Amino acid sequence: MELVKNADLSKLSTLRVKAFAEFFSAPKTLEELLELFEHIKSKKLSWNILGAGSNTLLS
């Protein structure tokens, strides 16, 4: 599982607004997704799922 700190999210939105996430991950397998959820749970992090990024305004 790759976890990126201070990730630039502008390339993930069709509006290309500059925005950063404290942490970002794009799991490619179910195993990576489950590992990510375990990490989130153990660190008590808040989280959101971003879809294709169309009509999404990040700030």
Segment 4-45, tens digit of pLDDT: 999 999 888 888 889 999 999 999 999 999 999 999 999 999
Rg (CA), the chain: 12
The token pair at 57 is 């305004």
In a domain, 57, yes or no: no
Give the amino acid at 28.
Answer: K
In a domain, 54, yes or no: no
Domain, as residue range, for 20: 4-43
Q: pLDDT band at residue 52, thresholds of 50, 70 and 90? A: confident
In a domain, 28, yes or no: yes
The token pair at 59 is 């700030």
In a domain, 14, yes or no: yes
Number of domains in the chain: 1
Strand pairing report for 20-24 and 4-8: antiparallel
pTM over 0.85: no
- Strands (E) located in 1-59: 4-8, 20-24
In a domain, 13, yes or no: yes
Residue 8: what pLDDT? 95
